[in-house]
A = this chain, B = another copy of it.
Amino acid sequence: MGPPGGRAADHVVKTLEERIRRGAFADRDALPPERDLMEEFGTSRTVVREAVRVLSSHGLIDAKPRHRPVVRQVGFEAAIDAAGAVVTHLLHKPRDVKNLFDTRILVEAMLARQAALSADREDIFDLKAALAANAAAVHDSEMFYKTDIQFHSVLYRVSGNEALPAIHRAYTTWLAPQWSKMPRLPERNAQNLAAHTAILDAILLRDPDAAEVALRTHLEDAWAQVRQTFGDL
């Protein structure tokens, strides 16, 4: 439309994005069929198709191979997923894995500080519960792995910032390739449990410096493990 006579598929993308954001579609249901859309926008299927692809990589819809694209409410999750597609291709360079992990340390170190300063009763309760779950799973490495992540996720939750849990998920997802290839040894579990305990203790003591140190020690130790497993990095 219009005088500038610009691009083409972009218009469709823009319109649909707008529509999705406004919640014009049922939260988890399907986008109209491509044929309908091409009629509505007065373009060829080629264009509609391209638009759908774009929406998909923008994380606004879930486009599984042979299925109708499913709309997906925008949120940090979607953003993280979109970024994930790129980050994946970037973690082949060990140096970048390290850099990414370092940002995680930075973030969690601050989260630990903040938790020490402002964790309320409920937060403390959650942390204790997570720690207990850790303890219960020391002999089940698979389960320990999960509860381990769980413990950290509490830290990402205490701030109340909705972006942080998504960021945590990003870290675990993106760094998983390295971690999952690592042997799960019971000794490691015990060690991690001790580290978590130290972190929680520092938080209980309302000592941000100690909490930060404990957190950093924990993650740097974890990194050392990875490094040891993979040699390089």
* Interchain nearest-CB distance for A47 vs B (Å): 11
Asked if A25 CB lies within 8 Å of chain B CBs, one says no
Asked if A223 CB lies within 8 Å of chain B CBs, one says no
Evaluate contact between A163 and B96: CB separation under 8 angstroms.
Answer: yes
Asked if A130 CB lies within 8 Å of chain B CBs, one says no
| Residues of B with C-beta under 8 A to A111 | 106
Asked if A86 CB lies within 8 Å of chain B CBs, one says yes
Evaluate contact between A90 and B86: CB separation under 8 angstroms.
Answer: no
* Interchain nearest-CB distance for A41 vs B (Å): 17
A contact residues vs B (CB 8 Å cutoff): 7, 17, 21, 46, 49-50, 53-54, 57-60, 65, 74-76, 78-80, 82-83, 85-87, 89-90, 92, 95-96, 99-100, 102-103, 106-107, 109-111, 114, 159, 161-164, 167
Query: Can you list the 9 inter-chain pairs with the closest CB atoms, starting with the nearest?
Result: A83-B83, A57-B57, A79-B86, A99-B163, A110-B110, A82-B86, A59-B86, A99-B161, A79-B87
